[in-house]
Amino acid sequence: MSERAQKLEELREVIQGQLELLNLTLYVMSQGPTFYKGQPFACVLERDKARATAAVSMGAGQSLNTILKNSTESGIAVRDLYPIARAVVEGFINAAFFTTQPIEISQRALNHRFYAAWKYHNRVVGTGDFMFALGSDPDPKATIAKNFPEFSGKGQDSWSNLDAPSKIDRIGKVVRASGGALLGAYAGIYAVSSEIIHGSVYGMSHFMSAHGSKEPTTETFLAGTEEQMIDILSAVGHAASGFIASFANVHKFGPLVQDEHELFKRLFKAASGDDWAGGDLSEQKIGAENALDTKRI
């Protein structure tokens, strides 16, 4: 087995382990307390925080599973996984954001879905000669002011005005480990996925040439796309790590903190080739507040 194949196989195994831990978090958020590694585990998030967190982390997990199932691909099909990877990263950033921030943020996001659903059917599309209006509301501004007052006014129509790096910064102030992992995910996938999503020449150029050699052969192109698959799996693995670390540390639940940390060390080794040198969790720190600062940064 080649070195690339070994890396890919290890990354797949790590992500499968992360999906199992994600399922655990979703269970306690939606179904109630359970036992894990012989210890009782219950969700401590307020109801609205749990609802918002569960919704976006479940979506990110579904997309992560899609990437995992397609991770044996090579060639141009790999390009289609970049936008999905972007969805995974943004989903887990938001899940960690809801987990670590005040409940008002989750409540605003939950309320925003009603406004966003109304706006989808009441909007103007296009510009100039190529423009049309959707919906039959004679006075959309009045409707917004009456039915969705918290989203009326300039700059108020989103559930959050923070960009991804700003969210990561706030997450990291609560759970340093999570902030570090999410920043790695953001750096690894965000820019190039944007170019591909927006159909730029650079987006196609990067995909065709990244990890490539000066020899324009089919073999070198396929090898390059395998390296890109490693990049994608590393990025989404970092994103999953960031959310699970935030959830585990906010709950101060030692078994989940430890298991996530062990998976992260394997992820780091597979992606970089180096052993993680950021320190291990001691038995005294597991489940305590100072377990928040032991990883990634």
Q: Which long-range contacts (CB under 8 A, 24 or more apart) does 2-7 make?
A: 4/223, 4/226, 4/227, 4/230, 5/226, 7/230, 7/270, 7/271
Distance CA 116, CA 219 (A): 47
Question: H/E element holding 123?
Answer: strand 123-127
Averaged pLDDT, 169-194: 95
Provide the residue ranges of all domains of the chain, joining segments of one domain with +.
Answer: 3-103+159-293
Environment class of residue 56 by beta-carbon count within 10 Å: exposed (0-12), middle (13-18) or buried (19+)?
A: buried
How confident is the model at residue 211, as a pLDDT? 77
118's CB contacts (< 8 A; 6+ apart) are 143, 147, 148
How confident is the model at residue 213, as a pLDDT? 66
How confident is the model at residue 273, as a pLDDT? 83
Q: What pLDDT digit, counting tens, does each position of 16-66 carry?
A: 999 999 999 999 999 999 999 999 999 999 999 999 999 999 999 999 999
Q: What residues are paired with 134 via a beta bridge? A: 123
Pick the closest to residue 243 from 76, 81, 18, 33 (CA basis): 18
Task: Indicate whether 210 pLDDT > 70.
Answer: yes
* 171, 97 Cβ separation under 8 angstroms: yes
pTM exceeding the 0.85 threshold for the entire prediction: yes
Distance CA 172, CA 260 (A): 17
Q: What pLDDT digit, counting tens, does each position of 75-131 carry?
A: 999 999 999 999 999 999 999 999 999 999 999 999 999 999 988 988 888 888 888
How high is the mean pLDDT of the chain?
Answer: 89
The confidence band for 261, taking pLDDT boundaries of 50, 70 and 90, is very high
How confident is the model at residue 217, as a pLDDT? 85
Q: What pLDDT digit, counting tens, does each position of 243-260 carry?
A: 999 999 999 999 999 999
Distance CA 291, CA 268 (A): 19
Q: How far is CA 211 from CA 152, 201, 203, in A?
A: 47, 18, 14
